[in-house]
Chains A and B, each alone.
Chain A
Amino acid sequence: MKPASRRNDGRADRRQNRASAPNALPGAAGADIANVEGGGIEIEIPARTDYVSLVRLVVAEVAALESSLEPERIDDLRVAVSEAATNAVQAHIRSGCTHSVRVSCCCIDGAVSVRVDDEGPGFDADSLMKAAPPVENPARLGHESGMGLLLIRHLADEVIIDSSSAGTKLRLLFRTSRPSGSR
């Protein structure tokens, strides 16, 4: 079994690793779950919105089991992971991509790290963040979507978005101890 950090290579390599992982288990209803060395999991889900609740359940349980993240931070993790998985699934649905969305969660070095990888068409995070008018502007009520990235960036301690036309890799970091005066 490969540690999670060694699965950050090209997509073809990652798939090869997954296929050869001895502990890869066929999960319920199409989900594919493998253990990650050092306390964590990898999961592949079909690009369907009804799998998002499974992702947030599994990731939150792993964080609770393997880290000392406080309960309220695990709640934050649930929301952020849910938003990230929803964005990834929606990217596949909109682009017609039938491949799985990959989510990994590992707990190392005082932090919970979550990766959500999709093969959607990518997006410009900065322009998305600027899309919604200020809340005091009545036009804000015309924006019923687009809050997901805002929530992710606010809730996670660190967010790294690597997005291109070949897909998006989103990494969230939740530290188990936060500096005083932080959110």
Chain B
Amino acid sequence: MVGAPELRQAVVSAVAEGARLVAVDLSDLDFLDSFGIGVIVGALKRLRQRGGDLAVVCPSTRIRRVFEICDLDKILALRQSVDSIAGTALASARPEE
């Protein structure tokens, strides 16, 4: 479990180690604001610049709503569970508030 700055660093490290498909698990997240959104967007940009992609596990409608208001649900994959992305080689990080 990490906070937003640690999540940013975790993604940077994963990409530096060669990861191109990264999942961020927000299942246990209680609160997401624009700072956290910014970290997610930064991770998405970093991965797509390298031909990779980001999946976000976000079962909470409350957290999902923040993505939707920012229209980010249209450009990144919001998943209901980690199982829904099973079978893909993914580095993962689980942020907390």
Chain A residues in the interface with B (C-beta under 8 A) = 53, 56, 72, 75, 78-79, 82-83, 86, 135-136, 140-148, 150-151, 154-155
Contacts and interface: CB of A to CB of B under 8 A. Distances in A.
Contact of A135 (B35, B48, B62, B75): B75
Given A53-B97, A147-B34, 13 more contacts: A75-B62, A135-B72, A136-B75, A141-B41, A142-B45, A144-B39, A144-B42, A144-B45, A145-B35, A145-B38, A147-B37, A147-B70, A151-B66
Given A75-B62, A144-B42, A150 B33 contact: no
Contacts of B33: 79, 82-83, 86, 148, 151
State the 7 A-B residue pairs at the shortest beta-carbon distance, nearest first: A135-B71, A147-B34, A144-B38, A141-B45, A148-B34, A144-B42, A154-B69
Nearest to A146: B34
Binding site secondary structure of chain A = helix
Contact of B41 (A78, A86, A143, A151): A143
B72 A86 contact: no
Contacts of A150: 34, 69-70
Contacts, number: 57
Given A140-B75, A144-B39, A151 B69 contact: yes
B24 to A, nearest CB: 15
B74 A147 contact: no
Interface in B32-71: 32-35, 37-39, 41-42, 44-45, 48, 62, 66, 69-71
Nearest to B49: A141
Nearest to B75: A135
